Structure 1
Amino acid sequence: MAAPPTRFDDFILSVRQTVTDFDMIRPKDRVLVGVSGGSDSMALVQCLLRLTQEMAFGIGIAHLNHGLRPDDAQRDQAFVKSFSEKHRIEYHTQTADTHAYAAREKRSIEEAGRILRHDFLESVSQTHSYSKIALGHHRDDNAEQVLMNLLRGAGITGLSGIPPIREHGIIRPLIRQSKSDIRSFLDRIDQPFMEDASNQDTRFLRNKIRLQLIPLLRDAYNPEICNTLNRLSDVVRQEDEWANTLTEQIFESLDNLKVEPDQIRFGASPFIKLHDAVKRRIIRHAILKIKRNLKRITLAHVEDVIALAAGGVGGKSLDLPDRIRIFIDKGCLCFKKESVPLRQLNRK
């Protein structure tokens, strides 16, 4: 790989501090950078490229063509490939049929795109022995996420926003940078980027929040709304991490606890006597263990599980997203990830 430029400006120094504070990258790491060709991902890859020698790690680039905007998608794919070749960076790409996947899995286009992108990055990372996956989310994205989660009725974890680091080696080095910081950095280094027209489509909730709600809040209520939301996110995340530690301890002490890869059960009667806040966390913890994530699990789902446990009646069950079935069996509250779609089980 060609030697990267050595000039460090304030933007790069700030990103380096974020990487250090969250222990995102260590010497000899191989970092797979998700690059769409947009401003955020181009700033990310340029910044990491400038840090590779000092911090002794390597990078590769991954680009997924979602197949949503045929002409623009081909343009973006060619742009990222050209950048990779110019800087002699290992390049991985794939084309997906997002419309077909969304129809087949009954997902929105936005959600289908996220899932396909995540699966692609995970596959490339495992196949080519990358230790980290770097994504270009920034502080404005985080503010949008907090608002979006609030509007959807999320609990405390949702208000913690986008985590700087996550399981499976996912890191977000730009999480403390604003969009304006990113654009200014790209201007200074004369780095072009691709514009995605779909980012202006207010049919998508995230775009509507960014283009309409946040400007309204900033102009009419709080000029520092993004900073305010990010401070909230930081505080909530720290307290949530602390509460999760306590939740794990309480979970391990539950009566008649039995944990298997696809099923968890524990005594319903002792559980229902716990504080409501603890019950909600225990339920989310149990679902997370068998589902591997909490996507599409809402506060309403959690409250329904509490009601089921309080009823204590066998034979009743709840069906949650991604084949999660919750039921009462012999006085125990059971969480099970079924191997087939729940609608097939219901027909039996």
Structure 2
Amino acid sequence: MLNQVRKTIADHSLLVQGDHLLVAVSGGADSVSLLQILARLADEYRLRLTAAHLNHGLRGAESQREEAFVRRLSAEKGIACICKTVDIGSLQRGKGRSLEEIGREERYRFLDEAAERCGAGKIATGHHRDDQAETVLMHLLRGSGPEGLRGILPIRAGRLIRPLLDVGRAEILEFLRLEGVPYMTDSSNLSPVFLRNRIRAELIPALTANYNPRLVAALCHTAGIIRGEDDYLQGVVRRIIEGWAIAPNAAEAVVPVAAFCGLHEALQGRIIKRLLETAVPSKSGIGYRHIEAVLALFRKSDGRCRSLDLPFGIRVEREGGLLRIQKEGERRASGRERKSSQPRFEYGVEIPATIHLTEIDRTIHLELIGKPTLREMKEEPRKAFMDYERMHPPLILRSAAPGERIDLFGLGGKKRLKEYFIDRKIPRPLRMKIPLLADSQSVVWIAGERISERVRVTKQTKRVLKAEMV
């Protein structure tokens, strides 16, 4: 068994010389064997060990005996021990979550805090091969995707390691017998209330006896295959998100709709899951229905502005060619930041003029010309031709103002600029980069887009202002 653990450590680069490990010790066979093995390997790897025990406060005197046992075992080995007691039952009340889920969350929070307290660079837990098989089967029964079916990882976030993952429960018990090391038995592990216990005590024995005598090995092998493929796809997702300039912990993620919709659906779901989980403090709780709800926003092709409120205070908005995912408590702040970061500008205009708008790096040419024919105007659709004598100086080139309206030529009446931009599916960040030519009364030209009805060229027009953005 010791050699198998050495191989697992080498295969997954779990340890380096001089590591300080925080060892999670519940007092059960798995964690006690982990502590014993790491103590045996301490000289070989020059390890410094600290034990950590969380008393869940669920089993009264039994929990107290386990904590006392872990303290005594650690002291016998000359290993420092950090203990803490929490009331999992109280923490669960009113949250609508299982004891298992709350317990797991509290355990890892405690381990992180204890590692920080003692200066340990890594945390070791006693998960083994049978735990792996149970986990894969449990996720399969729940309808999990690849991320669940890959099972327990040998190393997570470069810090949480599982040196026993390639050895089984029977090997662990035999190792402890030969070493003469005692351990405690958690009575809750025998309770049929918990799904994992029923899988361990009922389902796996039945499948092993009637279908595959090497079931545990087969499930672990499958998890390994899926883990390799999942690692590759996660890397693809990471590169795509980085390509969109979305920071790992950004208050807001902005996704280009066209680029997203061009991806394979297998990547689409993974991208949304990654972005939603980033917005959740615990990085968990995001389910299939949440991902599907966001994907449905991408599939809408009517160009309307739509939004979606998800659990954990996440808000998703689609407007034009962009989809935004915002965290709870940061929407207003990010909105203010976004508004303040928009390029605002204003330039006085004296005709003729060539004005470079440094804020958006665009140039506007304005000149007076003789009245062009209708054919000449149609041949240059990107240029605007306006009746100069219908304008009321002074003229200015500027960015849009909130609530602004324009009487657009050809659209039969006044319209808010915001509504026009939405109809044109122009993303919000780009709207403030579209210059407006305005006189003393109103906007007369949306650069590169449309002119006002008031300044359209008619039979009575004598002088024409030609405008172009380059």
What TM-score comes out, normalization by structure 2 length?
0.67
Structure 2 counterpart of 1:276, which letter? E
Q: Who is 1:269 aligned against?
A: 258
2:208 paired residue number: 218
Indicate conservation of the 8 Å contact 1:34/1:63, yes or no. yes
Write out the 4+ residue segments of structure 1 that deviate beyond 3 Å after TM superposition. Answer: 257-260, 288-294, 322-325
Pairwise CA RMSD: 1.8
Q: State how far apart, in whole Å, the 2-side matches of 1:189 and 1:289 are.
A: 45
| Partner in structure 1 of residue 219 of structure 2 | 229
Contact 1:33/1:59, CA 8 A, preserved across alignment: yes
TM-score (normalised: structure 1): 0.89
- Mapped to 2, the partners of 1:30 and 1:48 lie a distance apart of 11
- 2:284 aligns to what? 295
Which residue of the partner structure matches residue 87 of structure 1? Answer: 77
Task: State how far apart, in whole Å, the 1-side matches of 2:281 and 2:8 are.
Answer: 27
Matched residues, percent identical?
37
Native 8 Å contact 1:272 1:306 kept in 2 = no
Equivalent in the alignment of 1:306: 295
Match of 1:192 in 2: 182
Q: SS at 2:279's partner residue?
A: helix
Q: In structure 1, give the amino acid aligned to 2:21.
A: V
1:63-142 → structure 2 map (5 Å cutoff): 63-142=53-132
| Cα deviation, residue 104, structure 1 | 4.5
Q: For residue 209 of structure 1, what is the aligned residue in structure 2?
A: 199
Q: Is 1:17 matched up with 2:3?
A: no
CA distance in 2, matches of 1:154, 1:293: 19
The residue aligned with 2:310 is: 319
Larger Rg: 2
Partner Cα distance (1:264, 1:290) in 2: 9
Superposed displacement of residue 334, structure 1 = 1.9
1:26-55 deviation digits (Å, cap 9, x = unpaired): 112110000000000000000000000011
Q: CA deviation at 1:217?
A: 1.1
- If asked which structure has higher relative contact order (CA below 8 Å, sep 6+), I would say 1
Of Structure 1 and Structure 2, the greater strand share is in 2
Query: Matched residue of 2:153: which SS?
Result: coil
Q: What is the deviation of 1:214?
A: 1.0
Asked if the contact 2:290–2:310 (Cα under 8 Å) also holds between the matched residues in 1, the reply is: no
Consecutive unaligned residues of structure 2, counting only runs of 5 or more, are: 331-470
Distance 1:318 1:168 in 2: 33
CA contact (8 A) 1:136 1:172 kept: yes
CA separation of 1:182/1:258 partners in 2, compared to 1, >3 Å: closer, same or farther? closer
- Any idea what SS the aligned residue of 2:35 has? helix
Q: Which has the higher helix share?
A: 1
Q: 1:66 to 1:34 in 2, by over 3 A?
A: same
The alpha carbon displacement at 1:293 in A equals 6.0
Question: Given residue 249 of structure 1, which amino acid in structure 2 is its aligned partner?
Answer: R
The one-letter amino acid paired with 1:47 is: I
- Contact persistence 2:31–2:126 (CA under 8 A): yes
Query: Any gaps of 5 or more consecutive residues in structure 1?
Result: 1-10, 341-348
Aligned runs of 1:161-200 on 2, under 5 Å? 161-167=151-157, 169-200=159-190
Whether 1:278 and 2:258 are equivalent positions in the alignment is: no
